[in-house]
């Protein structure tokens, strides 16, 4: 039982580390990449807690959907915010 807890502890530490990094990184584009890694760590945590169904949805949401939404929003905001910038030249 104690050794089973070791897997959970490792995953918890990884989740805490990546979540701290996600807070510490300030730029939204780079934050999206950290959030993808946080989603992976959370999926691993759910798996070792014997919840693979939750981990499946976490994989889909955390590793693809959240970064996609953030990156699309950043793209749209940049276009709207700097119409004469390098985005308008393309």
Partner 1 sequence: MNAWLWCGTTFLGLGLPPVIWGVASGPLSRRVLAQNTGSTVVALAFLLLAQGYARPSYTDLSLVLSLLGPVGTLVCVRLLADDLSAGASRWSTAVTALCVAASLAVTAAVCAAAAPGRPMVKLLLIGALVALGNVIAARALSVGVLEEADGTR
Asked if 68 touches partner 1 (CB under 8 A), the answer is: yes
Residue 14 binds partner 1, judged by CB under 8 A: yes
To which H or E segment does residue 59 belong? helix 52-60
Told to check if 4 binds partner 1 by CB under 8 A, we report yes
Rg of the chain over all Cα atoms, to the nearest angstrom: 17
Residue 88 in the binding site for partner 1 (CB under 8 A): no
Neighbours of 83 (CB within 10 A): 9
What is the Cα–Cα distance from 68 to 51, expressed in whole angstroms?
25
Please say whether the beta carbons of 48 and 39 come within 8 A: no
Binding stretches for partner 1 (CB under 8 A): 3-4, 6-7, 10-11, 14, 17-18, 21, 24-25, 29-30, 32-34, 36-37, 40-41, 43-44, 47-48, 50, 52, 55-56, 59-60, 63-64, 67-68, 71-72, 75, 86-87, 90
């Amino acid at each position: 039982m104690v050794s089973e807890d070791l897997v959970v502890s490792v995953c918890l530490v990884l989740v805490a580390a990546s979540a701290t990094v996600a807070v510490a990184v300030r730029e939204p584009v780079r934050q999206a990449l950290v959030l993808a890694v946080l989603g992976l760590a959370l999926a691993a945590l759910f798996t070792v807690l014997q919840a693979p169904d939750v981990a499946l949805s976490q994989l889909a949401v955390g590793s693809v959907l959240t970064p996609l939404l953030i990156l699309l929003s950043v793209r749209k905001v940049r276009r709207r915010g700097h119409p004469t910038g390098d985005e308008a030249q393309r």
